[in-house]
Structure 1
Amino acid sequence: MPLAESIKLKEQIINQYKHAYKILTDEHDLSLNNPIINQTLYSLVNNLGQFFEHELEDEILSDREIGKIRSDMLRRLETAETLMEFHYAEKFIQDTPNINNLKKFIYWDNYERLVDIELKKLFAIIEGQRLSSIAFVGAGPLPLSTILLQQQTGKPVICLDIHTEAYDVGKKLIDQYGLQHSLTYVLADGASYHYDGCDLVWIASLVPNKEQVVQRIYETNPNAIVAIRSVDGIYQLLYEPVDATVFQNVVCEEIGRTKANSSIINSTIFYRFQDV
């Protein structure tokens, strides 16, 4: 790619990120009720996807102006994502309970592809080892990942969330759609839950206390496999990547990871505790 074109593309994505940050800072309503937020975030996510594994990724991520706003931007993006999940969850609760309704979620295809890739990697890792139960930390008000995991594995999933409102809405959705026999909502901090019986524990990308959750899994079920959703490359402008070096009190061995692409934001890292 010619140097002039590279510089132009780099400036475009940096300016778009700064513009999105300004909008998320200026707007009081970060929910889907605000069309400005809808368009801004959809355009940003779409354009970042086109930059995944681009030669300019590192230059963009290390840009001084990006560095100044990234931390606060991630916080605002988390708020917007949470509000989006509540919006759709409440909409689905009001609809006639039909599992196909969930496919109306704007990012349903992304979730479906992500879980499919995750499970293919998992089954390659465990090589026929039987699963009994799955726990998902940070299930939120719209538990699409847990629904897809349960459907594709046939195993019960425990949906953990520390926030009362997310728990209430998520549980209501599960109950209304008749999924309560295979999906169980629990109001709890993943760092205090007892994981005995869960041989696979998923940790959502927005869970803030991953270190403490991993420590608790180790204390209560050191034989469990842990799957943590992370991000690589340009997607670090949307989420904080997992830093395994913070797992200071446990020794984790990375046993596999999935790879993001232009349409799937998350990469997922699979861990096993070494001293079991």
Structure 2
Amino acid sequence: MGCQEQQLIEKVCDIYDKLSRLENLNPSKQVNSLFAQLVQTCMSQCHVDITELNERDQAMRCKLIKLCGKAEGLLESHFATLIGSHVKPLNHIKIFPYYSNYLKLSQVEFSMLNKICSQVPKHIAFVGSGPLPLTSIILASDHLRTTCFHNFDIDPSANAKAIQLVSSDSELSKRMFFHTADIMNVSSSFKQYEVVSLAALVGMDKEEKARVIKYLSGHMAPGALLLMRSANGARAFLYPVIDPCDLQGFEVLSVFHPRDDVINSVIIARKNSQG
């Protein structure tokens, strides 16, 4: 590993050390500043192969991803409450600090789906939609205006906040549904979805994510599409990486790796026709 890569890893380690010492990860000037530094560092053009990390750095990365997931959940919950306090919440959704990132990523995902799908999907499931389901909202509002979106989250309070955001929009609320469930206990309903989207933070380590993907493989309809968010290079310090070898039961159709300020990679795979 070169000198530049090592410097990047050391900087990430330093930020992790500062984050791990904080009393909590609720949005604050200090928390926001540290995560902004982390994101900026990980979007460097310097490529890091996480498979080459030493044992200490691998352990740090696993812990950092969990910290990032926790902080992201707290940030989304905070802004979902703030936005939801307005009479027309969706008019204020752009105050979320990473809104532009979601706009770009949703455009990427729509473009990828559009090239693969022969017709507009009638039903899409989002697994791990959270309190601020921006991707569902953006896709439903801007790109897939006749599609029904079924949002699954294990946390009832997250769904309550998400419902508050869309309930005042008479058109959108007719196409946005929220289900509180552990995805590993949902079976037959997955057959109705042409597309299942798996949030980056569902499955916070490689083994857990592989278990979720294997479960979906057993319950999605043959020919249905699985859309997954992953990470590449230094961005893999922020999110789990999906390995194609973990996609048993699926055929990988398209892969996108960002080169701008978009953080997540995107993978689309088709459920094999057998089963």
**Coarse TM-score class (shorter-chain normalised):** 0.7 to 0.9
- Structure 2: which 5+ residue stretches go unaligned? none
4+ runs deviating over 6 angstroms:
none
How far the C-alpha of 1:10 sits from its partner, in A, is 3.5
Map 1:1-276 to 2 at 5 A.
Answer: 7=3, 9-32=4-27, 34-51=28-45, 54=46, 56-58=47-49, 62-63=53-54, 65-126=56-117, 128-151=118-141, 152-154=143-145, 155-178=147-170, 179-193=172-186, 194-208=189-203, 209-210=208-209, 211-216=211-216, 218-247=218-247, 250-276=248-274
Q: Which moved more, 1:115-124 or 1:207-216?
A: 207-216
Q: How many Å separate the matches in 2 of 1:98 and 1:121? A: 29
Aligned residues with identical type, % of pairs: 25
SS of equivalent to 2:84: helix
How far the C-alpha of 1:220 sits from its partner, in A, is 4.6
Output one character per residue of 1:65-108: Cα deviation in whole Å (capped at 9) or x when no partner. Answer: 42231111111111111101001100101123142311111111
The one-letter code sitting in structure 2 at the alignment partner of 1:133 is H
Q: How many Å separate the matches in 2 of 1:61 and 1:111? A: 30
Mapped contact 1:134–1:201 kept (Cα < 8 A) = yes
Q: Go from structure 1 to structure 2 and tell me whether the alpha carbon gap of 1:177 and 1:83 turns closer, same or farther (over 3 Å shift).
A: farther
TM-score, normalised on structure 1? Answer: 0.87
Q: Go from structure 1 to structure 2 and tell me whether the alpha carbon gap of 1:220 and 1:232 turns closer, same or farther (over 3 Å shift).
A: closer
- Structure 1: which 5+ residue stretches go unaligned? 1-5
